[in-house]
Structure 1
Amino acid sequence: MGTRALIAAYTTRKQIESTYIFSDGYLEYTGKFLVKHYNNEGLAREVCEIGYISCLRETAHESEISARDKMETDLFQEVEDYVDYAFDYIDVEFIYLFREGQWFYMDQQDPVRAWHRVERALTSAPPC
Protein backbone atom coordinates (compact mmCIF):
# COMPACT_ATOMS: atom_id res chain seq x y z
CA MET A 1 0.00 0.00 0.00
CA GLY A 2 1.21 3.53 -0.74
CA THR A 3 1.96 6.32 1.67
CA ARG A 4 -1.27 8.29 1.78
CA ALA A 5 -1.37 12.04 2.36
CA LEU A 6 -3.55 15.12 2.22
CA ILE A 7 -2.41 18.42 0.80
CA ALA A 8 -4.27 21.64 1.51
CA ALA A 9 -4.26 25.37 0.88
CA TYR A 10 -6.44 28.29 1.87
CA THR A 11 -9.14 29.31 -0.59
CA THR A 12 -9.97 32.93 -1.37
CA ARG A 13 -12.77 32.57 1.20
CA LYS A 14 -10.23 31.58 3.87
CA GLN A 15 -11.39 27.97 4.01
CA ILE A 16 -8.90 25.11 3.89
CA GLU A 17 -9.36 22.96 0.78
CA SER A 18 -7.72 19.55 0.71
CA THR A 19 -6.89 16.90 -1.86
CA TYR A 20 -6.16 13.23 -1.17
CA ILE A 21 -2.91 11.68 -2.41
CA PHE A 22 -2.99 7.90 -2.72
CA SER A 23 0.72 7.06 -2.86
CA ASP A 24 4.18 8.50 -2.34
CA GLY A 25 2.84 11.03 0.15
CA TYR A 26 6.03 10.93 2.21
CA LEU A 27 8.15 14.02 2.73
CA GLU A 28 11.02 13.07 0.41
CA TYR A 29 8.65 12.74 -2.56
CA THR A 30 5.46 14.75 -2.13
CA GLY A 31 7.08 17.31 0.14
CA LYS A 32 9.90 17.81 -2.33
CA PHE A 33 7.45 18.13 -5.27
CA LEU A 34 5.33 20.66 -3.39
CA VAL A 35 8.34 22.87 -2.62
CA LYS A 36 9.79 22.56 -6.11
CA HIS A 37 6.67 22.77 -8.30
CA TYR A 38 3.85 24.28 -6.20
CA ASN A 39 5.61 26.89 -4.10
CA ASN A 40 3.32 29.87 -4.57
CA GLU A 41 -0.25 30.56 -3.58
CA GLY A 42 -1.75 30.12 -7.06
CA LEU A 43 -0.08 26.79 -7.79
CA ALA A 44 -0.79 25.51 -4.27
CA ARG A 45 -4.48 26.32 -4.64
CA GLU A 46 -4.61 24.77 -8.11
CA VAL A 47 -3.24 21.41 -6.99
CA CYS A 48 -5.39 21.38 -3.84
CA GLU A 49 -8.55 21.81 -5.95
CA ILE A 50 -8.15 18.44 -7.71
CA GLY A 51 -9.74 16.19 -5.06
CA TYR A 52 -7.84 12.96 -5.71
CA ILE A 53 -4.31 12.37 -6.95
CA SER A 54 -2.80 8.93 -7.45
CA CYS A 55 0.74 10.31 -7.22
CA LEU A 56 1.80 13.96 -7.37
CA ARG A 57 3.34 15.07 -10.69
CA GLU A 58 5.16 18.22 -11.82
CA THR A 59 1.97 20.06 -12.79
CA ALA A 60 -1.57 20.02 -11.45
CA HIS A 61 -2.80 18.99 -14.91
CA GLU A 62 -0.46 15.97 -15.03
CA SER A 63 -1.45 15.04 -11.47
CA GLU A 64 -5.14 15.23 -12.31
CA ILE A 65 -5.04 13.21 -15.55
CA SER A 66 -2.93 10.48 -13.93
CA ALA A 67 -5.57 9.88 -11.24
CA ARG A 68 -7.60 6.73 -11.73
CA ASP A 69 -10.37 7.92 -9.39
CA LYS A 70 -12.20 11.21 -8.99
CA MET A 71 -13.18 12.71 -5.65
CA GLU A 72 -14.49 16.00 -4.38
CA THR A 73 -12.20 18.17 -2.29
CA ASP A 74 -12.89 18.60 1.41
CA LEU A 75 -13.32 22.04 2.97
CA PHE A 76 -12.48 22.97 6.55
CA GLN A 77 -13.00 26.15 8.53
CA GLU A 78 -10.21 25.50 11.04
CA VAL A 79 -6.77 23.90 10.83
CA GLU A 80 -7.63 21.65 13.78
CA ASP A 81 -10.58 20.21 11.85
CA TYR A 82 -8.28 19.42 8.92
CA VAL A 83 -5.77 17.68 11.22
CA ASP A 84 -8.44 15.66 13.02
CA TYR A 85 -10.05 14.59 9.75
CA ALA A 86 -6.71 13.55 8.27
CA PHE A 87 -5.37 11.55 11.18
CA ASP A 88 -8.48 10.36 13.02
CA TYR A 89 -10.95 9.78 10.20
CA ILE A 90 -9.16 8.85 6.98
CA ASP A 91 -5.86 7.82 8.59
CA VAL A 92 -3.26 9.31 6.25
CA GLU A 93 0.44 9.27 7.13
CA PHE A 94 1.28 12.88 6.21
CA ILE A 95 -0.61 16.12 5.83
CA TYR A 96 0.62 19.28 4.15
CA LEU A 97 -0.65 22.84 4.35
CA PHE A 98 0.38 25.85 2.27
CA ARG A 99 0.27 28.99 4.40
CA GLU A 100 2.30 32.15 4.79
CA GLY A 101 3.95 31.50 1.41
CA GLN A 102 5.41 28.10 2.26
CA TRP A 103 4.55 24.44 2.75
CA PHE A 104 4.26 22.91 6.20
CA TYR A 105 3.76 19.25 7.05
CA MET A 106 2.69 17.08 9.94
CA ASP A 107 3.59 13.42 10.39
CA GLN A 108 1.02 11.04 11.89
CA GLN A 109 3.84 9.41 13.89
CA ASP A 110 4.59 12.70 15.69
CA PRO A 111 2.78 12.41 19.05
CA VAL A 112 2.84 16.20 19.50
CA ARG A 113 1.12 16.86 16.14
CA ALA A 114 3.37 19.81 15.38
CA TRP A 115 3.71 21.63 12.06
CA HIS A 116 7.17 21.67 10.45
CA ARG A 117 8.43 23.59 7.43
CA VAL A 118 8.86 21.18 4.53
CA GLU A 119 11.81 23.05 3.05
CA ARG A 120 13.69 23.07 6.35
CA ALA A 121 13.06 19.35 6.90
CA LEU A 122 14.31 18.51 3.42
CA THR A 123 17.51 20.54 3.78
CA SER A 124 18.29 19.18 7.24
CA ALA A 125 17.63 15.53 6.39
CA PRO A 126 20.73 13.33 6.32
CA PRO A 127 21.74 12.13 2.85
CA CYS A 128 20.57 8.68 1.78
Structure 2
Amino acid sequence: MADIKQAYLDFQGDMDSIMESVLCSTLEDESRIRAILESAIKDEQLPAYTTFTKESAHKQRARKRKGDQEAKEAEAVRHELGLADSSDSLRMLIQSRQQDREKQMDSFISAMEAKYCENSQKGGKKGSKKGKK
Protein backbone atom coordinates (compact mmCIF):
# COMPACT_ATOMS: atom_id res chain seq x y z
CA MET A 1 0.00 0.00 0.00
CA ALA A 2 2.88 2.34 0.75
CA ASP A 3 4.40 1.46 -2.65
CA ILE A 4 1.18 2.42 -4.39
CA LYS A 5 1.00 5.75 -2.57
CA GLN A 6 4.67 6.46 -3.31
CA ALA A 7 4.16 5.68 -7.00
CA TYR A 8 1.17 8.03 -7.02
CA LEU A 9 3.34 10.81 -5.61
CA ASP A 10 6.32 10.03 -7.84
CA PHE A 11 4.27 10.10 -11.04
CA GLN A 12 1.87 12.84 -9.93
CA GLY A 13 -1.21 10.68 -10.46
CA ASP A 14 -0.36 9.31 -13.91
CA MET A 15 -2.11 5.94 -13.76
CA ASP A 16 -0.13 4.51 -16.72
CA SER A 17 3.15 5.04 -14.90
CA ILE A 18 1.72 3.89 -11.58
CA MET A 19 0.54 0.60 -13.09
CA GLU A 20 3.94 0.00 -14.71
CA SER A 21 5.91 0.74 -11.56
CA VAL A 22 3.90 -1.16 -8.95
CA LEU A 23 5.46 -4.61 -8.70
CA CYS A 24 3.37 -7.61 -9.71
CA SER A 25 0.39 -5.50 -10.71
CA THR A 26 -1.78 -6.56 -13.60
CA LEU A 27 -4.63 -5.00 -15.49
CA GLU A 28 -7.07 -6.72 -13.12
CA ASP A 29 -5.48 -4.88 -10.16
CA GLU A 30 -6.20 -1.42 -11.57
CA SER A 31 -9.61 -1.07 -9.92
CA ARG A 32 -8.18 -2.13 -6.54
CA ILE A 33 -5.24 0.28 -6.87
CA ARG A 34 -7.57 3.08 -7.94
CA ALA A 35 -9.81 2.43 -4.91
CA ILE A 36 -6.80 2.57 -2.56
CA LEU A 37 -5.67 5.88 -4.04
CA GLU A 38 -9.16 7.40 -4.04
CA SER A 39 -9.56 6.44 -0.39
CA ALA A 40 -6.21 8.04 0.49
CA ILE A 41 -7.18 11.21 -1.40
CA LYS A 42 -10.53 11.30 0.40
CA ASP A 43 -8.74 10.93 3.76
CA GLU A 44 -6.34 13.71 2.67
CA GLN A 45 -3.30 11.44 2.92
CA LEU A 46 -2.48 12.23 -0.73
CA PRO A 47 -2.98 15.35 -2.85
CA ALA A 48 -5.60 15.18 -5.58
CA TYR A 49 -3.74 15.42 -8.90
CA THR A 50 -5.95 16.30 -11.84
CA THR A 51 -4.20 13.70 -14.02
CA PHE A 52 -5.65 11.09 -11.68
CA THR A 53 -9.00 12.56 -10.74
CA LYS A 54 -9.92 13.66 -14.28
CA GLU A 55 -8.45 10.78 -16.26
CA SER A 56 -10.35 10.29 -19.50
CA ALA A 57 -12.13 7.08 -20.43
CA HIS A 58 -10.08 7.04 -23.64
CA LYS A 59 -6.85 6.78 -21.66
CA GLN A 60 -8.29 3.94 -19.55
CA ARG A 61 -9.35 2.05 -22.69
CA ALA A 62 -5.91 2.55 -24.24
CA ARG A 63 -4.29 1.11 -21.10
CA LYS A 64 -6.64 -1.88 -21.26
CA ARG A 65 -5.84 -2.47 -24.95
CA LYS A 66 -2.13 -2.30 -24.21
CA GLY A 67 -2.52 -4.81 -21.36
CA ASP A 68 -4.51 -7.17 -23.55
CA GLN A 69 -1.87 -6.96 -26.29
CA GLU A 70 0.91 -7.72 -23.80
CA ALA A 71 -1.06 -10.72 -22.53
CA LYS A 72 -1.40 -12.05 -26.09
CA GLU A 73 2.33 -11.60 -26.69
CA ALA A 74 3.14 -13.41 -23.44
CA GLU A 75 0.87 -16.28 -24.44
CA ALA A 76 2.54 -16.51 -27.85
CA VAL A 77 6.00 -16.61 -26.27
CA ARG A 78 4.81 -19.27 -23.81
CA HIS A 79 3.65 -21.46 -26.69
CA GLU A 80 6.84 -20.75 -28.65
CA LEU A 81 8.96 -21.94 -25.72
CA GLY A 82 6.80 -25.03 -25.36
CA LEU A 83 5.62 -24.25 -21.85
CA ALA A 84 2.44 -26.01 -20.80
CA ASP A 85 0.01 -24.74 -18.20
CA SER A 86 1.74 -26.61 -15.39
CA SER A 87 4.57 -25.25 -13.31
CA ASP A 88 6.60 -28.39 -14.08
CA SER A 89 7.07 -27.29 -17.69
CA LEU A 90 9.12 -24.28 -16.67
CA ARG A 91 11.26 -26.43 -14.40
CA MET A 92 11.78 -28.92 -17.22
CA LEU A 93 12.76 -26.13 -19.64
CA ILE A 94 15.32 -24.79 -17.16
CA GLN A 95 16.77 -28.26 -16.59
CA SER A 96 16.99 -28.87 -20.34
CA ARG A 97 18.87 -25.65 -20.91
CA GLN A 98 21.17 -26.43 -18.00
CA GLN A 99 22.01 -29.83 -19.52
CA ASP A 100 22.72 -28.19 -22.88
CA ARG A 101 25.10 -25.77 -21.20
CA GLU A 102 26.88 -28.66 -19.46
CA LYS A 103 27.35 -30.44 -22.78
CA GLN A 104 28.73 -27.27 -24.36
CA MET A 105 31.15 -26.79 -21.48
CA ASP A 106 32.32 -30.41 -21.70
CA SER A 107 32.97 -30.11 -25.42
CA PHE A 108 34.81 -26.81 -24.85
CA ILE A 109 37.04 -28.37 -22.21
CA SER A 110 37.73 -31.38 -24.45
CA ALA A 111 38.72 -29.07 -27.30
CA MET A 112 41.03 -27.10 -25.01
CA GLU A 113 42.64 -30.30 -23.73
CA ALA A 114 43.23 -31.53 -27.26
CA LYS A 115 44.74 -28.23 -28.28
CA TYR A 116 46.98 -27.45 -25.31
CA CYS A 117 47.79 -30.73 -23.58
CA GLU A 118 50.74 -32.61 -25.05
CA ASN A 119 50.71 -36.30 -25.52
CA SER A 120 52.72 -37.85 -22.67
CA GLN A 121 54.58 -40.24 -25.03
CA LYS A 122 56.00 -37.43 -27.13
CA GLY A 123 57.66 -35.83 -24.13
CA GLY A 124 60.96 -36.85 -22.65
CA LYS A 125 64.58 -35.80 -22.68
CA LYS A 126 66.38 -35.80 -25.96
CA GLY A 127 69.83 -37.21 -26.17
CA SER A 128 69.89 -38.77 -22.78
CA LYS A 129 71.54 -42.13 -22.91
CA LYS A 130 71.83 -44.04 -19.73
CA GLY A 131 74.71 -46.39 -19.18
CA LYS A 132 76.63 -45.50 -22.34
CA LYS A 133 80.05 -43.84 -22.29
Q: Do both proteins adopt the same fold according to a TM-score greater than 0.5, normalized to the shorter chain?
A: no
TM-score by length of 2: 0.26
TM-score, with structure 1 as normaliser: 0.27
Instruction: Identify the structure with bigger relative contact order (alpha carbons < 8 Å, sequence gap 6+).
Output: 1
- Name which one, 1 or 2, has greater alpha-carbon Rg: 2
Structure showing the higher strand proportion among its residues: 1
Select the structure that is richer in helix.
2
